Structure 1
């Protein structure tokens, strides 16, 4: 058996390879290629058992269609979570998903206006209308599914046939069912956008004939029906403002209480009462001394004279006795009108919506408190929330032991989930290490077998030798024993070991 020196293995292999014939060299090259192919095939064979999720949260119909496609593609798969999750080899997840998308087998997908790419001859008007309705439903579904917070959607349209009588023409309607993402929620603006999208895509449909619901059965389009969109948006904005203010105060109070009692030892709840009414008050205020703005004077005088005595005929005759006369009398009248003007200013006060009317704060502490400590906490909370006694604010502090059985149960469940995840991670890691170790071990074994085979391969003797004419008297080259060459090479490389062997031989001969 030929000994293999691993330290000089590359040099030995090259020298050995140079001694081979053409057929032996071809066999060696084919053996190398086969060895590499076997290693790669073994690695792929072991890697394909590392599955990754292809789709999750599937219904039975979509899962069945995808499984049928995977079986037709001869792709190994696994079902989990009651058949709602399909896993395939992790290295081919994106490739398989792209192939399914190209074949139209993605979950929830359908044919849109692609239905009209291949028009059949002899199709009736009814079939044409039905295909148009199906295509429009799918196109709307695709668009609505792209809205932020929406995971999937179903659209149902009712498009009545046109009538020759206007009074008998029925109104089209639409029903939309939305599957929201986990913890997802649509704002009224988003719902209004979906309704507007449908109204713009379907001829003759009005917003009040578009109904939007979620998978929990909540009617999302009620708050925008009947033209009440702006009012609903205003109310929603007011509620959001109030809740944001309450959360900010709760965060402040909780931060202070956490510093005092520690985490999860106190709970604070703030209730704010806002006045969202709009009021406008106009006040006129006078100032300064009155001043004469205008003055108007009217003066009247009257003077007159006449006979005296008893009125009548006798008074006009010549008297028979002496008569006396009196001086003439007159009258005067004066009327003065003055207009005064004072300085004045007008104040206009507008009370904008959102005025804080009252605050009510409740604090519950999971420890025993004395009355003095309760008062201290009330003072601390009052400073944190901006307490105003004139506004009627209230602060209540209570000392009540918390019920922690539910919390302990949740912590135990979370610990179990984390332990399970860690176990799965360790299992996956061990499987990866074992897979890589198996591939490496098999590769080493195959390499060792190949090297042994290569080392034991005998060089081929030349089949045809060139005849060289020899001169008279020339001697053929001496034949060198291979054992001699091997001993000589060993003595040159390992002189100490050869000396020890000779010394042992000499000792045995004595």
Structure 2
């Protein structure tokens, strides 16, 4: 401990001796390093755990936590999520999935107690609960649905047909955020419940967590055998089909024109209006030729003794229950009645036509070509496009072709504002590394700059000390420098040579020269 304190004191003394700039840089670097290490530790610790289960109800959460505690598994609870170590998450999920009821209890009720002594009514209620639980589990398995509840009312039986009430069912669904159910999917849920309970589809209602009645669609109220039930589609599906049809036509036009005009030299837009109404037409044609299918003839005679002078008769036989009577003027009267019934079959032909939904009501296409085009090329493109997409002028289809120069200067800078940014899990690590590297570079820069300033100060101090040495010391140390040949401004002679030698001697031995000068002065005074 004492050694540690001693080292700490030495470091503190060294820190105090540093310049102000180095101290600031050291403090900033230390703070940056601490933040980087803390962030890295937090990131690593947060990535150590992975979600085992999320959104469980209280009963399932208790079951999972109890199982994890029994196995001694390290776990964390964050909100409604249970997190465990990444290395065991898959194994634990497989082990515990069978113990989860997902908030619904189905046939597990059979294992939760004995049915001994149970009345028929109690058994029917238990059976109904199991049926509801199994339906809830099935509906929850759909990816658009996070939770579901099913309520079934069984039909009441009675010996009187008028007093018998049909069963009904109500389905509550909680949708996943951002997900919706189409009418076809709602119909599938209704069909699932109807097929499991023998309840009529008309008596099944589906609603979501926003209190929207999803089953309120006209197709559910039609007859079971109606063809319109099969062909009815939702608005969302209709729009999707229109978009797919338009995209298919656009692709066909581009494949036709791109090899001729060049890649990127043509733009195509197609707009289609489809008729999604399903129509059923029944046509009956009556055959004018009659066909006899049956004929009945009846004849009766009547004799009378009274006579009559008048005679009347009719010798014609008429169809359809008309009789023939013969009367004579004798005293004895004889009456004969004959009836004939003929049944004819009227021939007829009945034709049922069902128009499938998706018929094209109108179609329009627009083609823009890069650059100016002449009339001949425009006409050729119009004819080719019309033939490729099957344009029909009788229903009002149109095609437009224009030649306009494309502006490609700013197209590279166009970005989709609604495009979602790509997820990058390594951003935090990159930021931490960049911060650490930046801090290290800052420290190196400040230290080098401080050393450079210190070196400059030492050089200046050394030069000042040399100057003081020159003033104070008696002897000047000879500095080895490169000898340069002096510039000769005068012509050398004997006197100049002697003078230079004296100066050189005086410079090398000033004390001796001073003594000589003193001796000269003393001799001159004498």
Which structure's relative contact order is higher, taking Cα pairs within 8 Å and 6+ residues apart? Answer: 1
Q: Give the TM-score band, short-chain normalised.
A: 0.3 to 0.5
TM-score (norm 2): 0.43
TM-score (norm 1): 0.44
